[in-house]
């Protein structure tokens, strides 16, 4: 393949490449691109104490545990069962007391002679003795009422010659040390209201007399057993429960009085308190474990995220490449994925910046060549008097202007390519139909040129599309068309008159690895050895002999590679050889992933 290679001034190119980073650094010193004017930069805040993320994790974990414990501390149904069991036991005792009193504390009625029939009544003296004896074996407060509701006996009132002695239980002295007393006091203030006792009736001691008899006694005198749970007035720490049971005292089904048994609910409170303290002990242990695990979990999340944010901020505000994103990819979780993505993004940004700097240096060099030629021609044309030589100089000036216009247009298209590829949404593209359309366009163009006598024997383009379909790829149809137009045009430019450019497409692989492979083969002189990768570099030109200098900018294959890689594919170039090892032409292969 004969070629005309555009030579570069290596010294000037090196100077321009060295100046490009300096200009980029100077640009960094001014207004930073990518942020609207007037908008302050967001920097990660420093948290000298516990980070907000740690507090959130701790709050969520502790709240869930606290809700569970509060639900367990609500022992309403458990307390109801204890109260009911206590009432049943108290009722059994009351029935026993009533049966004993109905047999042993009964005497003939004083008005039996007046009524003319046999009748009985409770003896106050016998009743006091029996109530005193029966109450000694239990911890109940026992009272005996007559048929008219009058109080006959009280187990806490002793009657003797000096008078009456009333017995009252004093509250137990405070036990334990100051810490335990404080805990008990807190429990009494806050925990004892769960469940609330405000719905229970308030019990008040009543004076003697029929009008002040308790409601339970009224029902018992009517022949019914009565059970009630009362709420005592708060004395000191908290309000106690009081359980009362009234049972009628009968003899031969005749109601002679009623016996009222009352018992404090302190035992129930102690049982509830014991269960709740056991729950609180478990809660305290679980809370310590939860807090420890929360801090550990937060440290494995908040600390790496903070390090990533600080590294990103240093990378944004610093100068140079000494700052690196921490590598947490070994964690195998989302933070590891975030670290890997940030590292890849940083590497891609640096690579993009390097590419921009190289592109700027290459553009400056490529534009400088025709400008130098233009300046030389313009300075010379005024000193030449020969019209023929002046016309040739003017032709050179016109060619250089056209070359500059074409070069600037190609550079503009190349600079807009990245933005277009990043914004556009891919759509299904039928590669087979696209290649058939390009072949039809070439045949129509060749026929038109042949009819006008421009080229009597142009190279032919043959497209081989297998039947069955399945040649659809996701992408941008316009840009993929540009790729194959460049490859076909490049193959036609190197093919001899009457040559053949073969475009073949086929399916390869299955599933997620399925590809659509397109090969463009020509009969030209092939690619120089060792230049298979270099021909895709920006501004590289390796043109056939006899072609006018400056016709191509050297961006076609570079743009094609950029488009193919943006679609997740790959483009390669190689020589096609005969069985004897001679070069028979070049072959370009494009592989694009199928959906």
pLDDT per residue over 250-274, tens digit each?
888 888 899 999 988 888 888 888 8
Residues whose CB is less than 8 angstroms from the CB of residue 13 and which lie 6 or more positions away in sequence, other chains included: 361, 365
Specify the pLDDT at position 198: 63
| Pairing of the two strands 472-475 and 500-508 | unpaired
Q: Of 141, 140, 147, give the one whose Cα is nearest residue 124.
A: 147
Strand extents, DSSP E, 188-225: none
The two tokens of residue 360 are 């700027």
Average pLDDT over residues 115-144: 83
Q: Of 369, 426, 428, give the one whose Cα is nearest residue 396.
A: 369
Average pLDDT over residues 418-440: 84
CA torsion sign, 353 to 358 to 362 to 365? positive
The two tokens of residue 549 are 């200098």
Quick count: other Cβ atoms within 10 Å of Cβ 536? 19
Higher-scoring residue by pLDDT: 392, 573: 573
3-state secondary structure of 42: coil
Higher-scoring residue by pLDDT: 113, 273: 273
Question: How high does pLDDT run on average in the chain?
Answer: 77
pLDDT at 398 over 60: yes
The two tokens of residue 4 are 């005309």
> Which of these ranges, 328-342, 365-379, 565-579, has the smallest mean pLDDT?
365-379
CB 499 within 8 A of CB 580: no
> Which of these ranges, 95-109, 198-212, 251-265, 377-391, has the smallest mean pLDDT?
198-212
Q: Which CATH architecture has domain 425-595?
A: 2-Layer Sandwich (3.30)
Residues whose CB is less than 8 angstroms from the CB of residue 297 and which lie 6 or more positions away in sequence, other chains included: 57
How many Å is the Cα radius of gyration of the chain? Answer: 52
pLDDT per residue over 583-593, tens digit each?
888 999 999 99
pLDDT per residue over 12-55, tens digit each?
333 343 444 434 434 433 444 444 444 555 555 555 567 787 88
Q: Give the C-alpha separation, 558 to 359, whole Å.
A: 12
Provide φ and ψ at 262, rounded to 5°. -130, 145
Domain(s) of CATH 3.30.565.10: residues in the chain: 425-595
pLDDT at 422 over 80: no
pLDDT range class, residue 425, cuts 50, 70, 90:
confident
Higher-scoring residue by pLDDT: 232, 573: 573
Provide φ and ψ at 583, rounded to 5°. -75, 125
Q: Of 524, 458, 525, 461, give the one whose Cα is nearest residue 497.
A: 458
Whether the upstream peptide bond of residue 195 has omega within 30° of 0, thus cis, is yes
Specify the pLDDT at position 122: 86
Q: Which helix (H) or strand (E) holds 12?
A: helix 10-29
Provide φ and ψ at 157, rounded to 5°. -125, 120
pLDDT at 459 over 70: yes
According to DSSP, the residues that pair with 589 across neighbouring strands are 519, 572
Q: Of 234, 236, 233, give the one whose Cα is nearest residue 185.
A: 236
pLDDT at 581 over 70: yes
For tokens 């009911």, the residue is 84
Specify the pLDDT at position 482: 87
With a pLDDT cut of 70, the percent of the chain lying above it is 75
> Which of these ranges, 72-86, 447-461, 467-481, 513-527, has the smallest mean pLDDT?
447-461
pLDDT at 217 over 60: yes
Rank 2-16, 177-191, 375-389, 550-564 by mean pLDDT and report only the highest.
375-389
Higher-scoring residue by pLDDT: 556, 301: 301
DSSP string, 278-346: HHHHHHHHHHHHHHHHHHHHHHHHHHHHHHHHHHHHHHHHSSSS-------GGG-SHHHHHHHHHHHHH
Quick count: other Cβ atoms within 10 Å of Cβ 14? 13
Specify the pLDDT at position 119: 77
The two tokens of residue 256 are 């002679």
Domain(s) of CATH 3.30.450.20: residues in the chain: 74-264
CATH number of this structure's domain 74-264: 3.30.450.20
pLDDT per residue over 468-521, tens digit each?
777 899 988 888 988 998 899 888 888 888 888 999 999 888 766 789 999 999
Q: Is 338 left (phi over 0), alpha (psi -120 to 50) or beta?
A: alpha
Burial of 89 (0-12, 13-18, 19+ CB in 10 A): middle
Q: Give the C-alpha separation, 210 to 249, whole Å.
A: 17
pLDDT at 559 over 80: yes
According to DSSP, the residues that pair with 451 across neighbouring strands are none
């Amino acid at each position: 393949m004969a070629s005309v290679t555009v030579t570069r001034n290596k010294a000037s190119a090196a100077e321009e490449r060295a100046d490009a980073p300096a200009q980029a650094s100077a640009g960094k010193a001014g207004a930073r691109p990518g942020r609207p004017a007037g908008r302050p930069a967001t920097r990660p805040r420093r948290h000298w104490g516990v980070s907000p993320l740690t507090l959130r994790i701790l709050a969520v974990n502790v709240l869930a545990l606290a809700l569970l414990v509060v639900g367990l501390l609500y022992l309403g149904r458990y307390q109801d069962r204890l109260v009911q069991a206590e009432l049943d036991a108290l009722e059994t005792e009351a029935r026993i007391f009533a049966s004993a009193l109905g047999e042993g504390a009964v005497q003939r009625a004083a008005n039996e002679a007046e009524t003319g029939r046999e009748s009985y009544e409770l003896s106050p003296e016998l009743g006091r003795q029996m109530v005193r004896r029966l109450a000694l074996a239990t911890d109940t407060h026992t009272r005996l009422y007559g048929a008219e509701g009058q109080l006959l006996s009280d187990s806490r009132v002793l009657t003797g010659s000096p008078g009456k002695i009333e017995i009252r239980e004093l509250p137990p002295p405070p036990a334990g040390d100051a810490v335990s007393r404080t805990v008990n006091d807190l429990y009494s203030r806050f925990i004892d209201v769960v469940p609330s006792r405000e719905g229970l009736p308030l019990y008040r001691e009543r004076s003697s007399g029929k009008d002040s008899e308790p409601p339970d006694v009224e029902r018992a005198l009517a022949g019914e057993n009565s059970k009630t749970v009362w709420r005592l007035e708060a004395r000191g720490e908290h309000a106690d429960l009081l359980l009362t049971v009234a049972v009628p005292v009968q003899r031969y089904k005749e109601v002679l009085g009623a016996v009222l048994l009352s018992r404090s609910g302190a035992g129930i409170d102690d049982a509830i308190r014991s269960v709740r303290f056991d729950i609180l002990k478990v809660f305290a242990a679980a809370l310590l474990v939860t807090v420890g695990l929360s801090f550990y979990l937060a440290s494995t999340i908040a600390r790496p995220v903070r390090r990533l944010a600080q590294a990103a901020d240093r990378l944004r505000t610093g100068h140079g490449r000494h700052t690196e994103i921490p590598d947490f990819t070994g964690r195998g979780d989302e933070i590891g994925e975030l670290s890997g993505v940030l590292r890849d993004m940083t590497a891609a940004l640096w690579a993009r910046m390097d590419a921009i700097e190289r592109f700027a240096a290459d553009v400056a060099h490529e534009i400088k060549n025709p400008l130098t030629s233009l300046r030389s021609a313009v300075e010379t044309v005024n000193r030449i008097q020969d019209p023929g030589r002046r016309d040739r100089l003017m032709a050179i000036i016109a060619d250089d202007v056209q070359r500059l216009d074409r070069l600037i247009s190609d550079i503009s298209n190349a600079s807009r390519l990245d933005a277009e590829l990043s914004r556009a949404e891919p759509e299904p593209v039928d590669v087979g139909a696209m290649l058939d359309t390009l072949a039809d366009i070439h045949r129509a163009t060749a026929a038109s040129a042949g009819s006008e006598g421009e080229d009597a024997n142009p190279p032919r383009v043959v497209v081989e599309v297998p039947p069955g379909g399945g040649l659809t790829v996701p992408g941008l149809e316009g840009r993929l068309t540009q790729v194959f137009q460049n490859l076909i045009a490049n193959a036609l430019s190197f093919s001899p008159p009457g040559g053949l450019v073969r475009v073949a497409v086929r399916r390869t692989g299955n599933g997620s690895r399925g590809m659509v492979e397109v090969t463009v083969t020509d009969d030209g002189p092939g690619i120089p050895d060792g230049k298979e990768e270099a021909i895709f570099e920006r501004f590289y030109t390796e043109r056939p002999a006899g072609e006018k200098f400056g016709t191509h900018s050297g961006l076609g294959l570079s743009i094609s590679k950029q488009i193919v890689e943006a679609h997740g594919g790959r483009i390669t170039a190689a020589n096609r050889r005969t069985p004897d090892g001679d070069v028979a032409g070049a072959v370009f292969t494009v592989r694009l992933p199928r959906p």
